[in-house]
Amino acid sequence: MSEPISRRDFMKATVYFVGGLVSAAIGLPSIVYLLDPALRSEAGEAWVPIGKLTDMPEIGKPYPFSFTRVRINGWERTASTHGGFVIRRSEDPNDLLLLNSRCTHLACTVNWKEEEGIFACPCHDAGFDKEGRVTHGPPPRPLDRYENFRITEDGVLEILYKEG
Amino acid sequence: MWKRFFDWLDERLGFNGMYKALLDRPEPRGNWWNTLGSASLVLFLLQGITGIFLTMYYTPSPDHAYDSITYIMNDVAFGWLVRGVHHWGATLMVLVVFIHMLRVFVSASFKYPRELTWIIGVGLLLATLGMGFTGYLLPWNQRSYWATVVGTQIAGTAPLVGEFILRALRGGTDLSALTLQRFFAIHIWVLPAVMTALIGAHLYLIIRHGESHWPKQND
Ligand code: HEM
Ligand code: FES
Residue A96 has pLDDT above 70, yes or no: yes
8 Å CB contact between A77 and A71? yes
Contacts of A85 (CB under 8 A, 6+ apart): A62, A63, A64, A65, A98, A99, A101, A112, A119
Residue B76 and residue A76: Cβ atoms within 8 Å? no
Chain A CB contacts of B75 under 8 Å are 36, 74
Q: Which atom of ligand 1 is nearest to the CA of B205?
A: 37
The interface predicted TM-score (ipTM) is 0.83
Q: Residue B169's closest CA among A11, B161, B3?
A: B161
- Enumerate chain B positions whose Cβ falls within 8 A of a Cβ in A: 53, 56-57, 59, 64, 67-68, 70-71, 75-79, 81-82
Residue A164 has pLDDT above 70, yes or no: no
Tell me the nearest-neighbour CA distance from A31 into chain B, angstroms. Answer: 10
- Amino acid A55 reads D
Helix or strand run (H / E) with residue B72: helix B65-74
More confident residue, B31 or A113: A113
Q: Give A40-78 as a DSSP string.
A: S---EEEEEEEEEGGG--SBTPPEEEEEEEEEEETTEEE
What is the pLDDT, as a whole number, of residue B213?
84
Chain B CB contacts of A75 under 8 Å are 59, 64, 67-68, 70-71
Give me the domains of chain B, ranges plus CATH numbers.
33-209 (1.20.810.10)
Using N-to-C axis directions, what is the helix angle for B115-137 and B191-209, rounded to 10°?
160
Selected residue of B78, B83, B86 to mutate for chain A interface (largest A Cβ count, 10 A): B78
Cβ(B128) to ligand 1 under 6 A? yes
* pLDDT tens track for B16-46: 888 887 777 777 677 899 999 999 999 999 9
* pLDDT tens track for A36-75: 999 987 778 889 999 999 999 999 999 999 999 888 888 8
Q: Which atom of ligand 2 is nearest to the CA of A110?
A: 2
Q: Average pLDDT over chain B, rounded to whole?
A: 94
- What is the rounded CA–CA span in Å between residue B190 and residue B131? 10
Q: Average pLDDT over chain A, rounded to whole?
A: 92
Using N-to-C axis directions, what is the helix angle for B36-55 and B191-209, rounded to 10°?
160
Residue A1 has pLDDT above 70, yes or no: no
Residues of chain B with pLDDT below 50 are none
Selected residue of A36, A39, A77 to mutate for chain B interface (largest B Cβ count, 10 A): A36
- What is the rounded CA–CA span in Å between residue B86 and residue B135? 10
Quote the distance between the C-alpha of residue B16 and its chain's center.
29
This prediction's pTM: 0.83
Tell me the nearest-neighbour CA distance from B7 into chain A, angstroms. Answer: 21
Residue A21 has pLDDT above 80, yes or no: yes
Among candidates A33, A36, A74 on the partner chain, residue whose Cβ is nearest the Cβ of B68: A74
